[in-house]
A and B are shown apart, each in its own frame.
Chain A
Amino acid sequence: MTAVSARFSDVRLSAPRTVGIVGIVLGCLAFWAALPPLAARTEALPIAVGILAIAAGIWAWSRDERRVGGGAIAAGFLGIVLGVVAMQSSVTNLDQVVVWSALGAATLRYATPLTYAAIGGLYCERAGVINVALEGMLLTGAYFGIFGAIESHPWAGKWAWVIGILCAAAAGMAMATIHAIWAIHFKVDQIISGTAINFLAVGITGYLFINRYGDTGTPGNVPDYGIPDVHLAFLQNWYFIGPIFGQLNLMIWLSFLLLIGTYIFVFRTPYGLRLRSVGEHPRAADTVGISVYKIRYIAVIASGAIAALGGAYLSLGFVHSFNENMTAGTGFIGLAALVFGKWRPFPTYAAALLFGFSSALADRLPIAYGNQWGTLFQALPYLLTLVAVAGVIGRSIGPAAAGRPYVKQ
């Protein structure tokens, strides 16, 4: 409904919008100032900067820039709270946890499966089919990715990961096909069929895993033929950039391409327009001769393949092993990122980065502060999404026809 017109307006920068964005940046600064390398030790600094951010947010809010303004207000508050909290702990502890280059690299690693899941979901939901099965598709990809690589290793050698990725994509598409047939043809409620897919994925991958690798787990030599890292030697010595981008996994680079490609495809090509029209008003799309069923089938199956690639990255490029139900909610965070990013590629990716950052932080916090704070941080993505759908920082509204089967006349 609004999505078609909104994509133009979000490029233009008006004054309240700029001020709101400055507010968000200030809110982040309030927190950042308390962290290394600056590590300011006066509490007045984050409070002052945070108040500025809140003021900017209120001004933008009053000029009808609710989303950005609300974001700035929230960022200001969070900046003050987190900044003051950070000041309570010693600089040595902070130095151990907050290593920006390591955090940056870890953020990208954690954000990548989320990105694949969320982008997969974007295709599906933009075409009008709700996909709560992203978790299951991710898990399917994780198992079949590593399965394909292990089984093809004897003859494929170090290129086994290619077979693994193909296996993952095929398995994800198979799962998605079930979802598509149920949602599009049988017109079963899409949330029910999605939930069923999630269970099937847990059961099938767990069953196959125990049956095949149950005694010993996946072999230890997976890193030899896992998805390779891309070494950029010339970057190695650059300050900050080098440690982050110098040695990223191939799938992370591909996720950048996928993101840009998705933006161009969905918002700049006639095919993307058809995809979105099917998700917004299928009857109108049908009237002008677009095959609603065909586009929905393609979108759902593509979403399964894309989400499965994220799973393959997880098992074959990141942790190099598989465990029962190893995704443990990653797909749902991907769904959260999609909702948080309002079903648009770049905001969705920003949300994935934010959630990836919180996972990275949760990973590093135990180094100095013990487990429990890290555990609590894992809840942050879900909490933020809850706040987002509650409309505090601008409501998230999905494609108009999402969730409703289409009956051709």
Chain B
Amino acid sequence: MSDEHRVSTDFELARSQDDVAQAPLEGGVPPSPSMTFASRVSGVSGILAPVLTTILAFLVGGLVIALTGKNPIKVYHAIWLGTGLNWFFEVGSYSARIPFTTAHMWFPWNTSSIAAQNLQQTLLLTTPIILTGLAVAFPFRCGLFNIGGQGQYLVGTIFAVWVGSSFVDLNPFLHVMLVLVVATFAGALYAGIAGILKATVGAHEVITTIMLNWIAVWVGAYLFGQGGPLQGSQPSIPISNDIADGAKLPVFWGLKLLQGLSIGIFIAIAMLVVYWIVINRTSLGYEVRAVGFNPEAARYSGISVARNYFLAMAIAGAFAGLGGALDITGWKYNIGESDIHASTIGFIGLAAALLGRNTALGVGLASLLFAALFNGTSGRQLDPSIFPPDLAGNLTTIIQGLVILFVGLNLGGLWLWLKRRRTAS
């Protein structure tokens, strides 16, 4: 657990030699010596492993459905329709309104069909998952496992509601920017606690972020609960006030009242790009990756490991906090005490980051997958006569668990290895 044991030479050396000796899994190239956590998990490159992982998880999920006496293909089809992803396959000749204008233009997809509305929901859910996914992915590259995305996301939502429902007379653009910036900083500071503890006293980030998660949950429940300081104007309902209209993000697709798609999704995608640039094209990203690969070697080459631990956590918190703010300003507009307890966005992000192998594109696609799955199985989308939504919600959690379970398994490597053995014999 403690830092000074992270790299104990004989132990790790023995491990790495052994790995090289027993594991020519992919195409004759031995995996690099697994020195750290980050490199240990991201062994086989490419898209094969995540795809196999997903397929396997869905197959097991189908088995669970079948055991309940339902037809898995029918159920998965109903979920698919609920995700709205079928929208892309319904090509025709339609007229669409150009966002933020009254002008119309020809468009190959119907922008106001049921599928379109479902897709808007899926993309609304994708937004925070991308950001909580990045909150896991960034420190992961630094060798840290940030399990606290949920807490950082909650802190972001709390501050977004607080700032969004104060300063009512502010200029709308300034107000929404203020909300996003404050929530981002709040998330960064919150995760920074874990970062600073890791950097100074070597407190294990998994323990500290788990603790911070629950502190955020209970403080949030206190703030928005019955009699709490941020409870809304209705005295018996433990829900905050709506944020001011000026603090809401513009909706560019669909109707604001029906939870149309806000421009938050573009901010999330922009953050994916920012993540890619920071990790791959800046000295900060280089240092972060160096520390993640081998903290001892990084220290010898003059990189401050402590500083990078702190920065990696703070940046992670910034992503998650922004995710919370986008959720509030994009479509939720308020939080209730029960939302605080029920929310699992941070943990879905964790699964998305692991499935996406902590790459920008991977996190984006995995976030879309999980958002579609969660939206498709929600009570709002799934036809109860085909599959009860409360069962489906648990099925989603099972699939999520299976994905995390299998993702560590290096299925791609295993598959290649089996294939090679079969051709050899």
Residue numbers of A with Cβ under 8 A of B are 130, 132, 178, 182, 186-189, 191-193, 195-204, 206-207, 210-211, 214, 283, 324, 328-329, 332-333, 335-336, 339, 370-372, 375-376, 378-379, 382-383, 385-386, 389-391, 395, 397-405, 407, 409
B267 within 8 A of A: no
Q: Knowing that A200-B402, A210-B391, A389-B207 touch, tell me 5 more A-B residue pairs with CB under 8 angstroms.
A: A195-B350, A203-B399, A332-B210, A375-B228, A403-B1
Distance in angstroms from B224 CB to nearest chain A CB is 10
Distance in angstroms from A36 CB to nearest chain B CB is 25
Contacts of A339 in B (CB 8 A): 207
B325 within 8 A of A: no
Instruction: A163 to B10: give the CA distance in the assembly, Å.
Output: 48
Q: Which of B193, B210, B214, B397 contacts A199 (CB 8 A)?
A: B397
Structural contact, A207 and B398, CB atoms closer than 8 A: yes
Structural contact, A375 and B218, CB atoms closer than 8 A: yes
Instruction: A154 to B106: give the CA distance in the assembly, Å.
Output: 68
Distance in angstroms from A238 CB to nearest chain B CB is 36
Structural contact, B401 and A203, CB atoms closer than 8 A: yes
Contacts of A375 in B (CB 8 A): 218, 221-222, 225, 228
Instruction: A367 to B304: give the CA distance in the assembly, Å.
Output: 52
Structural contact, B18 and A409, CB atoms closer than 8 A: yes
Structural contact, B227 and A372, CB atoms closer than 8 A: yes
Nearest A-chain residue to B399, judged by Cβ: A203
Instruction: A178 to B418: give the CA distance in the assembly, Å.
Output: 22
Structural contact, B201 and A400, CB atoms closer than 8 A: no
Per-position contact with A for B65-93: 1 when CB-CB < 8 Å, else 0? 00010000000000000000000000000
Per-position contact with A for B136-157: 1 when CB-CB < 8 Å, else 0? 0000000001010000000000
Interchain residue pairs with CB less than 8 A apart (11): A202-B401, A204-B394, A207-B394, A214-B391, A324-B394, A335-B210, A371-B227, A375-B221, A376-B222, A378-B218, A379-B217
Contacts of A202 in B (CB 8 A): 394, 397, 401
Instruction: A49 to B146: give the CA distance in the assembly, Å.
Output: 41
Binding site secondary structure of chain A:
helix
Structural contact, B197 and A390, CB atoms closer than 8 A: yes
Structural contact, B2 and A207, CB atoms closer than 8 A: no
B121 within 8 A of A: no
Structural contact, B197 and A389, CB atoms closer than 8 A: yes
Structural contact, A336 and B225, CB atoms closer than 8 A: no
Structural contact, B15 and A407, CB atoms closer than 8 A: yes
Structural contact, B1 and A191, CB atoms closer than 8 A: no
Segment from B241-249, B255-263, B405-413 that makes contact with A? B405-413
B110 within 8 A of A: no
Distance in angstroms from B320 CB to nearest chain A CB is 16
Contacts of B227 in A (CB 8 A): 370-372
Contacts of B211 in A (CB 8 A): 336, 382-383, 385-386, 389
Structural contact, B201 and A391, CB atoms closer than 8 A: yes
Structural contact, A199 and B401, CB atoms closer than 8 A: yes
Distance in angstroms from A247 CB to nearest chain B CB is 30
B305 within 8 A of A: no
Distance in angstroms from A235 CB to nearest chain B CB is 35
How many B residues touch the partner, as a band?
35 or more
Contacts of B400 in A (CB 8 A): 199, 203
Structural contact, A200 and B221, CB atoms closer than 8 A: no
Instruction: A386 to B347: give the CA distance in the assembly, Å.
Output: 21
Residue numbers of B with Cβ under 8 A of A are 1-2, 5, 10-11, 14-15, 18-19, 37, 40-41, 64, 68, 145, 147, 193, 197, 201, 203-204, 206-208, 210-212, 214-215, 217-219, 221-222, 225-228, 341, 347, 350-351, 354, 388, 390-391, 393-402, 404-405, 407-409
Contacts of A187 in B (CB 8 A): 40
Structural contact, B203 and A332, CB atoms closer than 8 A: no
Contacts of B5 in A (CB 8 A): 400-401
Structural contact, B393 and A206, CB atoms closer than 8 A: yes
Instruction: A130 to B1: give the CA distance in the assembly, Å.
Output: 9
Structural contact, B404 and A199, CB atoms closer than 8 A: yes
Contacts of B354 in A (CB 8 A): 192
Known: A195-B147, A386-B215, A409-B18. A372 touches B391 (CB 8 A): no
Instruction: A80 to B398: give the CA distance in the assembly, Å.
Output: 48
Known: A210-B391, A390-B201, A409-B18. A132 touches B401 (CB 8 A): no
Q: Which of A210, A397, A402, A403 contacts B390 (CB 8 A)?
A: A210
Q: Which of B41, B396, B397 contacts A189 (CB 8 A)?
A: B41
Distance in angstroms from B406 CB to nearest chain A CB is 8
Instruction: A2 to B375: give the CA distance in the assembly, Å.
Output: 50
Distance in angstroms from A358 CB to nearest chain B CB is 11
Known: A203-B396, A404-B11. A193 touches B405 (CB 8 A): yes
Known: A188-B408, A203-B394. A397 touches B218 (CB 8 A): no
Distance in angstroms from A340 CB to nearest chain B CB is 10
Distance in angstroms from B203 CB to nearest chain A CB is 4
Distance in angstroms from A371 CB to nearest chain B CB is 5
Contacts of B404 in A (CB 8 A): 192, 195-196, 199
6 closest pairs, A vs B, by CB?
A199-B401, A203-B397, A203-B398, A188-B408, A398-B1, A200-B401
Structural contact, B147 and A191, CB atoms closer than 8 A: yes
Structural contact, B391 and A207, CB atoms closer than 8 A: yes
Structural contact, B226 and A191, CB atoms closer than 8 A: no
Distance in angstroms from B144 CB to nearest chain A CB is 11
Instruction: A27 to B351: give the CA distance in the assembly, Å.
Output: 44
